[in-house]
């Protein structure tokens, strides 16, 4: 009996050992069989502060080569970039279950010296593993007050059927040249439900990047982190390095990927993080002060900030959380003093636009806050609102249909004075504009800037200006 039991135990241990070996060496087996190891999860981001560089990122199983072939014509690649930095893996130890996730090899290569406002074609990969299909992207115009740009903005995207509809809607809009995602990307921090009782599943990062690849392989993905990117707080021996997967998989401009800034044509973007220190004296607060003071509004007249958790929100979900109230108290005066135009946030899984507001009072010429946490995540729409405060301009009080709550925003910056924002529902994103507003800077009425002007008034003003010309 004991001999049989011991034999069974030894066989069990042998099976576990062989399973572990197979898991660790699965990529080598693929290569040994001669199968290709072409890039997957391809995505791009702006590679420097002014838009003259682009970072291309991808994953392979085991192919170490990192090569980008780039050209101005389809299938004519005049430039080759390779080996700027070696690909790396990251390990994630689960705390709620046994096992270690080992990522594929993550490649980041930056192509620089690009011409502004130009289309480039590229393939990435290596001779050993194979190259990707051809993709293309368009660089932004040179930072300039009169440049025109169009970009999408969304938060809390996730990877549900609503997420996929949203991604497809953005792919179908040929005018978009960039995607700004204000946190909560893959929802990998819990496998099926928003609870610590359900384990983190790092493979959801892989499936998320597979889902968005058709979109973000052709336009820069610019992100700020949300609470679902923290991925810490597990029981030992689980990984508790905050933002580990986020910082490994995404390459963003600036010294710190968790808060940074960049120019995109006439827009200066400030990308911030509610989930790390933000009080006065912190590195993030110092960065914001220095960055805002250095903005040249003659070159980038529009100033847009993003962070995940909103400062203003009349929904009952995520209302006045510590990360929201604390950050507002620490930075709202800075934003007002430097005349930030718009703040985009997510976190609340619904859409809401505010009147220009400062210190919880409607204030002409103050910041316009827009919450776009309606990307399609697995937690569903955030339903239930407090009585509408005076600073809330538009929200979905009676809507319950996810197809009419989930969606994305679109921003068209026409020039130094006129910016048009539209919010597109999933129901029919091409035609179903659920909300829209023009922002007009420095129109001279009463000597004050006017922002958030109604559509009819702005269109009348533009028609009058055209008639006068």
Residue 359 CA to residue 453 CA, distance in Å, equals 21
Residues with Cβ < 8 Å from 445, sequence gap 6 or more?
none
Residue 284 CA to residue 258 CA, distance in Å, equals 9
Residue with tokens 């963003």: 252
Task: In the chain, count H helices and then E strands.
Answer: 8, 25
Residues with Cβ < 8 Å from 74, sequence gap 6 or more?
121, 134, 136
DSSP readout, 377-419?
A: -TT-----BPSPPTTEEEE-SS---HHHH-EEEEEEE-SSSEE
Question: Smallest Cα–Cα separation from 140: which of 68, 57, 219, 74?
Answer: 219
Q: How many CA atoms lie within 13 A of 94 on its CB side?
A: 19
In angstroms and rounded to an integer, the radius of gyration of the C-alpha atoms of the chain is: 24
Cis previous bond, 128, omega within 30: no
Residue 354 CA to residue 459 CA, distance in Å, equals 21
43 in catalytic set: no
**Which is the catalytic residue, given 43, 135, 308, 318?**
318
Residue 360 CA to residue 368 CA, distance in Å, equals 12
Give, for 343, the enclosing helix (H) or strand (E).
strand 342-345
Residues with Cβ < 8 Å from 150, sequence gap 6 or more?
175, 176, 177, 410, 411, 412, 413
| Residues designated as active site | 318
């Amino acid at each position: 009996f004991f001999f049989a039991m011991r034999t069974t135990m030894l066989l069990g241990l042998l099976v576990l050992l062989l399973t572990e070996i197979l898991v660790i060496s699965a990529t080598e087996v693929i290569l040994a069989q001669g199968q290709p190891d072409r890039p997957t999860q391809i995505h791009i981001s702006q590679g420097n502060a002014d838009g003259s560089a682009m970072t291309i990122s991808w994953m392979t199983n085991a192919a170490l080569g990192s090569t980008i072939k780039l050209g101005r014509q389809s299938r004519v690649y005049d430039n080759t970039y390779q080996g700027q930095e070696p690909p790396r893996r990251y390990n994630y130890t689960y705390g709620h279950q046994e096992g270690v996730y080992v990522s594929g090899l993550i490649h980041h290569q930056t192509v620089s010296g690009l011409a502004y406002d130009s289309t480039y074609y590229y393939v990435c990969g290596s001779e050993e593993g194979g190259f990707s299909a051809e993709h293309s992207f368009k660089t932004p115009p040179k930072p300039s007050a009169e440049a025109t740009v169009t970009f999408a903005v969304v938060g809390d995207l996730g990877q549900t059927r609503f997420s996929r509809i949203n991604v497809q809607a953005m792919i179908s809009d040929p005018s978009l040249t960039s995607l700004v995602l204000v946190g909560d990307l893959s929802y990998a921090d819990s496998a099926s439900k928003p609870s610590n009782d359900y384990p983190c599943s790092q493979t959801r990062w892989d499936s998320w990047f597979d889902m968005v690849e058709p979109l973000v392989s052709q336009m820069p993905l610019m992100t700020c982190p949300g609470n679902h990117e923290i991925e810490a707080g597990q029981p030992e021996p689980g990984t508790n390095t905050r933002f580990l997967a986020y910082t490994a998989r995404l390459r963003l401009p600036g010294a710190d990927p968790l808060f940074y800034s960049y120019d995109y044509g006439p827009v200066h973007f400030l990308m911030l993080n509610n989930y790390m220190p933000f009080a006065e004296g912190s590195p993030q607060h110092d960065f914001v002060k220095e960055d805002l003071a250095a903005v040249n509004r003659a070159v980038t007249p529009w100033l847009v900030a993003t962070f995940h958790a909103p400062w203003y929100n009349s929904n009952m979900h995520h209302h006045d959380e510590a990360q929201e109230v604390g950050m507002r108290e620490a930075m709202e005066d800075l934003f007002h003093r430097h005349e930030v135009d718009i703040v985009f946030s997510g976190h609340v899984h619904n859409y809401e636009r505010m009147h220009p507001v400062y210190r919880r009072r409607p204030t002409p010429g103050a910041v316009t806050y827009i919450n776009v946490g309606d990307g399609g995540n697995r937690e569903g729409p955030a339903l239930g609102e407090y009585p509408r405060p005076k600073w809330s301009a538009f929200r979905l009080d009676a809507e319950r249909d996810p197809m009419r709550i989930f969606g994305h925003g679109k921003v068209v910056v026409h020039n130094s004075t006129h910016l048009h924002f539209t919010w597109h529902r999933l129901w029919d994103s091409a035609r179903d504009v659920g909300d829209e507003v023009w922002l007009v800077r420095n129109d001279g009425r009463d000597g004050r800037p006017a922002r958030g002007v109604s559509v009819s008034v702005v269109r009348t003003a533009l028609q009058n200006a055209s008639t006068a010309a």
